[in-house]
Amino acid sequence: MSLFAVRIVLLGKNMSENNRSATGNTILGRNAFKDETSHKSITKETQKETADINGRHVTVIDTPGLFDTELTNKEIQKEITNCISMVLPGPHVFLLLIPLGRFTPEEAKSVKIIQETFGENSLMYTMVLFTRDGLKNKTIEQYLGKPGSPLMNLIEACGKRYHVFNNNQTEDRTQVSDLLEKIYAMVKANGGSFYSCKMFRQMEREKQEKKMKFLMEKVKHLKREKKRTDEET
């Protein structure tokens, strides 16, 4: 199987430590995204950039709004729709950016947020990408900790798929080549599939059905309560 196109969606909280923009630039090998650490105004809309890397056409989508708790559900839904429409027929991988040396309870909830946003099957297409040079004298395995730790649970939920990036060494293209090879291996393990629009629409239908079922149960409960009250009086 030959993978000539690679479609990547970057996920992570709106924090400079995650620095999705710098990661996107490292992957593409150019300053395509505005650096979040700069004092310039940054767009809060989904952004798409492309480049040809090692004979593959690589598309990177930055989704600054998806993990932003300040956005309303309607605004988040709009960004999700924009994200999927920009990367048709669908992303090969969701890269979940986690800063080395700083793993917060919010980051521990990332898997749940991804599942609620894109559906449970989306974890089949998710890989953790650790950013920044924070290992010092430790190996990545030492940093991850023992089985059962919050960080290891996150890795396990993502199929034990992870990679380490140093955005301060953008000239090191080996880390990019290794990342693309890991994505290729994941796609191959998934039978050549990707997260499709069909999956997204199915997830949306299931969410609506659950919401409708909840409302119907609530109405039934209120009717039973009213009937019980009427009988007592």
| pLDDT < 70 regions, the chain | 1-3, 14-18, 35-44, 65-71, 73, 133-137, 233
Question: Considering the entire predicted model, what is its pTM?
Answer: 0.82
Angle 37-41-46 from CA coordinates, rounded to 5°: 90
**Residues with Cβ < 8 Å from 183, sequence gap 6 or more?**
6, 8, 92, 93, 127
Task: Convert the pLDDT of each residue in 105-129 to its tens digit.
Answer: 777 788 888 888 888 889 999 999 9
> In the prediction, which pLDDT does 198 show?
84
List phi, psi (to 5°) of 215: -65, -40
> What does the pLDDT read at residue 134?
58
Write down the pLDDT at residue 136: 66
In this prediction, residue 143 carries a pLDDT of 76
Q: What's residue 40's pLDDT?
A: 45
Q: What pLDDT shows up at residue 135?
A: 60
Say if strands 5-11 and 47-53 run parallel, antiparallel, or are unpaired. unpaired
